């Protein structure tokens, strides 16, 4: 009777390990390429001029007269928001980082004014010429869903 070992040889075990590492590495590269494509695609959809349609916060709906003054201009990963209120005209510029691989899709934004602080964490969805964002107060966790009780819920429509 001939004894047959069921234990793999050192060479075959090493080959399996190397193959496993290569497969995992290739999956990582493909995943990162897909993520970059999705970010680029979503950023392209954000480009342009937008007008605010509605805005709700933890404290309720914003004044419609002020909502009508809000305009947003998106160029690359930067956007500038302009609005008017009793205090006059205002402008704020932000840098946007998207992560469309999360569910719901996520974003981080920081001011472009050089202020230090926590990024604003939020979620977004794009539906044709409308996009909806829900974001937390700086320092709070990212909202899990599109509900103003997490901070602010804004609906923007592409300007015509």
Cα 29 to Cα 124: distance, rounded to the nearest angstrom: 25
Per-10-residue mean pLDDT for the chain, 160 residues long? 57 64 57 80 94 92 89 94 92 93 95 74 96 92 95 94
pLDDT the model gives residue 7: 56
Here the tokens at position 154 are 């804004």
Using alpha carbons only, give the angle 59, 138, 122 rounded to the nearest 5 degrees.
Answer: 80
Q: Is the domain defined by 44-158 classed in CATH 3.30.70.260?
A: no
Q: What is the pLDDT of residue 16?
A: 65
Q: What is the reported pLDDT for 3?
A: 59
Q: Structural domain boundaries of the chain? A: 44-158
pLDDT for the residue 13: 67
């Amino acid at each position: 009777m001939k004894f047959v070992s069921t234990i793999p040889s050192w060479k075959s075990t090493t080959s399996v390990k190397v193959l496993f590492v290569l497969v995992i590495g290739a999956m990582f590269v493909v995943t990162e390429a897909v993520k970059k494509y999705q970010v680029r695609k979503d950023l392209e959809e954000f480009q342009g001029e937008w007008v605010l349609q509605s805005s709700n916060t933890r404290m309720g709906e914003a004044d419609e007269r002020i909502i009508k003054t809000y305009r947003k201009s998106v160029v690359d990963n930067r956007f500038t928001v302009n609005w008017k209120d009793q205090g006059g005209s205002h402008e704020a510029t932000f840098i946007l980082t998207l992560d469309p691989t999360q569910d719901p899709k996520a974003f981080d934004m920081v001011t472009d004014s050089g202020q230090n602080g926590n990024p604003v964490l939020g979620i977004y969805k794009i539906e044709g010429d409308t996009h909806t964002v829900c974001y937390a107060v700086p320092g709070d966790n990212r909202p899990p869903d599109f509900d103003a009780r997490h901070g602010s819920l804004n609906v923007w429509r592409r300007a015509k």
